[in-house]
Amino acid sequence: MLERERQIAKAAFLEEASHRTFMERQAIALESSSDLEVEEALWRQIAALEADGLKAAPRYTESIRARDQVLAYARLADLAEKQGSVQRASDLLARAAALCPQTGWAQCSSSSISAAARERQE
């Protein structure tokens, strides 16, 4: 039984390390890229957040996953607005608002989500 517990602990560690590495790489990509590259990185981040592998990381709770998705959708909305696509920005913010209650945040309005995303971006 002890060997099985070691294998489980090792798998959990590797999942968490993999998640942490992915998120660190994403942060680097989001800081120093063109708008198109940032958009692509955000969509990759959302896809990864929806994948089972990242959900399984031991300390990566559902509320943290939801927060990261909300912030990614909000950043995508900012990019869409910057590109003049008001409807697309609105749709992306609606996705963020739909996920927001899972974060545990007290405020889930579009304006509070956008403000939170901009604050974390600076």
Question: DSSP H helical segments within 32-109, as ranges?
Answer: 35-50, 52-55, 62-82, 86-99
66-81 per-position pLDDT tens digit: 898 999 999 999 999 9
| Domain chopping of the chain, boundaries | 2-121
Comparing 104 with 47, the larger pLDDT belongs to 104
Taking 60 as the threshold, does the pLDDT of residue 8 lie above it?
A: no
How does the average pLDDT of the chain come out, rounded? 79
Q: How many CA atoms lie within 13 A of 52 on its CB side?
A: 0
pLDDT at 12: 55
15-55 per-position pLDDT tens digit: 555 556 666 666 666 676 788 888 888 888 888 777 765 55
The answer to whether residues 78 and 96 touch, using CB atoms and an 8 Å cutoff, is no
